[in-house]
Structure 1
Amino acid sequence: MERPILNKELGSKTFRDFYFLKEELVKFCKENGLSVSGGKIDITDRIAHYLDTGETLSAPREKRVKAPISDIYMDTKIEPDFVCTEKHRAFFKEHIGSTFTFNVAFQK
């Protein structure tokens, strides 16, 4: 299935099934009066809520403390609030191969 255009008519399930760049999410937020603050996960959740309800959620005021990323080994547990970083990408490319990419299915 071809990736749909991000607009108000898109359902949140379909929206979450596809990968959108943060820049695309921010543009959608600005066009629809949604807050653009926070990380990509925050913005994605805000857009999904808007697509389901038509309501705008304000951004939370408190900041999350990110777990420090130390060295990664085969038995390392995935940290809370996992974010795909260059360190993770390098680890997976080393163990899976140079064709590895962070795609929607992998991130879920």
Structure 2
Amino acid sequence: MNRPLLTPDLRPEVFSAWYWLKKELQDFCSAQNWPTGGSKQDLTARVLAGLSGQPLPDAASKAAKGVMPDSLTPQTVIGPGWRLNAALRGFFVAHTSPAFCFNQALRELFKKPQGQTLAQALVVYRSSLEQGPAPIQRQFQFNQHIRDYFAQHPDATRAQALQAWQAKRQTPQALVFSADTE
């Protein structure tokens, strides 16, 4: 089965069965005069709603983007709508290590901080490191593929992993990503 084109007449269940790049979703939304902002999950929900004939999810209902203070300390209370940006990265690098990387635990905390401080975020981050790598969310399927491919083929090259990804991407997700139902 060949991968279908993303068109307005595509059936929702067919759309859901395939992997789409964020850029493809943005281009499709733009062609439909729909909002093109947001995460890949936001875009996927928007396209699915549009293809299903349902109202598009209201992008305005999301928390307003918060303004971050110029100086960040462990006592700083995390505000709603803060972006994971260079300033936050600098804070975490200074309090952890140069190898710091935003992980799923921190992304979840910053989505709904509920008055927590950066000190509490540091605890969440350190705790998540002790638990090992978290499952990669569905919108990051490429990352999951790369992790799984090298676990199964430790001597493989990046080119081989990318070639396997291109082959996987041409297969419906219902067959390839069935364990990932998030």
Fold agreement, TM-score > 0.5: yes
Question: What is the count of residue pairs matched by the alignment?
Answer: 105
1:6-64 CA distance string (max 9 Å, x none): 01100111001111211111011011121112111110111001100153333242359
Partner residue, 1:78:
135
State the one-letter code of the partner of 2:140: C
Q: How many Å separate the matches in 2 of 1:50 and 1:86?
A: 25
Q: TM-score w.r.t. structure 1 length?
A: 0.70
Cα distance change on mapping 1:27 and 1:71 into 2, 3 Å: farther
Quick check: which one's helix share is greater?
2
Q: 1:70 to 1:24 in 2, by over 3 A?
A: same
Deviation at 1:84, TM superposition (A): 2.6
1:96 lines up with 2:152 in the alignment: yes
Question: Do residues 44 (structure 1) and 44 (structure 2) align?
Answer: yes
- Which aligned runs of 4 or more in structure 1 are off by greater than 3 angstroms? 67-73, 85-91, 98-104
- One-letter identity of the residue aligned with 1:95: A
Q: Structure 2: which 5+ runs fail to align?
A: 64-80, 83-105, 109-124
Check conservation: 1:35, 1:58, Cα contact below 8 A.
no
TM-score (norm 2): 0.45
Percent of residue pairs identical: 20
Change (3 A) 1:21 1:55: same
Q: Output the aligned Cα RMSD.
A: 3.3
3-state SS in 2 of match to 1:35: coil
Pick the structure with greater CA Rg.
Answer: 2
